[in-house]
Amino acid sequence: MFRTASTKLTRTILLRPFSRPNSTAAHAAQTVANAAKPSAEPQTSRAEKMMRRFWKTVSIDKKSDGSYGVLLDKRVLKTPGGVPLILPKDRLAVTALIVEEWENQLSVLKPHTLPMTSITARALDGLHDPAVRSDLVESLLKYLDTDTVCFHEEFPPALVKLQNEHWLPLLDWVNETFKVKTVIYEGILGTKQTADTVLKLGAVVAGYDQFKLAAFERAVMASKSYLIALALVEGHFTVDEAAQAAHVEVQSQINRWGEVEDTHDVDHQDVRVRLGSAALLCATSPSS
């Protein structure tokens, strides 16, 4: 979701320029402008110059209302939509993680290493709008009818064992917690959950605040499962448990045929990073 290093993303996630020509933000704007000029210089070289670190310090800016912003030097970090990246007072830990992400950009800005920044920006940029939230919940509900944890095979035995270990307890938790009866599919045709299940599980997600909804969205996209994402953001699954549940079919293939180096392992770690950022965004601390 946040793996692109495009010029557009770089322009929007970095700070807007100061009026002072010698400021760090002005330097960033000039860098972007220079990168856009026609040149025989290789594109990769121009991109690296455009995305190089231009700030010296990263810090937390505590507001008078107790909320927190992130400062690159003395300018507040903004989202791609131009909204100041301000978090409520119960998400100090999330703010600290965002600061750490930007502090760890040592020379060249690497957008894919900013998972907390990107997921927070998603929450702030669009998910405060009721219409956008409603459309998103409706879109995510489509994953429920095709949820991977509802497709159970009877062969091979290794796959059946993993299904029983990771998926059946999840389905039991969903049924008991939300008073629904999820349907387990025996084929690929006619896969549909009951209207009551869709209505109840949709209402749960519709009640999330903008941060928890952004976390749920990322977890669904990472796991390709509405139910795994639900267990994660509700605190029933740890990140590791969610990743293992999402990895059942692949793990069955690995157990049988072996792991493809730099493919299976990289994909699994990528899923863990995305699920981890979702879980962390849901984490709150007592207000001081």
Confidence (pLDDT) at 166: 97
Is the pTM here over 0.95, yes or no?
Answer: no
Q: What CA–CA distance (Å, rounded) separates 68 from 73?
A: 15
DSSP characters over 225-237:
-HHHHHHHHTTSS
pLDDT tens-place values along the chain, 288 residues long? 433 333 333 333 333 333 333 444 444 334 333 433 444 444 334 444 558 888 999 999 999 999 999 999 999 999 999 999 999 999 999 999 999 999 999 988 898 899 999 999 999 998 989 999 999 999 999 999 999 999 998 889 989 999 999 999 999 999 999 999 999 998 777 789 999 999 999 999 999 999 999 999 999 999 999 999 999 999 999 999 999 999 998 767 766 666 666 555 557 789 999 999 999 999 987 754
Joined tokens for residue 153? 């095979």
Q: Are 217 and 282 in contact (CB under 8 A)?
A: no
Confidence (pLDDT) at 137: 98
Residue of 276, 271, 279, 220 whose CA lies nearest to 247: 271
For residue 207, with 0-12 CB atoms within 10 Å meaning exposed, 13-18 middle and 19 or more buried, which class applies?
A: exposed
Phi-psi category of residue 208: left, alpha or beta, with phi > 0 → left and psi -120 to 50 → alpha: beta
Return the bridge partners of 151, or none. Answer: 185
Confidence (pLDDT) at 182: 97
DSSP characters over 74-128:
TEE-B-TTS-B-EE-GGGHHHHHHHHHHHHT--SB--GGG-HHHHHHHHHHHTTT
Q: For the stretch 209-248, what's the b/e string if a residue is b when 16 or more beta carbons lie within 10 angstroms of its beta carbon?
A: ebbbbbbbbbbbebbebbbbbbbbbbebbebebbbbbbbb
CA 283 from centre of chain: 14
**Which residue shows structure tokens 């107790």?**
66
Residue of 71, 80, 93 whose CA lies nearest to 121: 80
Q: What is the pLDDT of residues 104-131, one digit of tens each?
A: 999 888 988 999 999 999 999 989 899 9
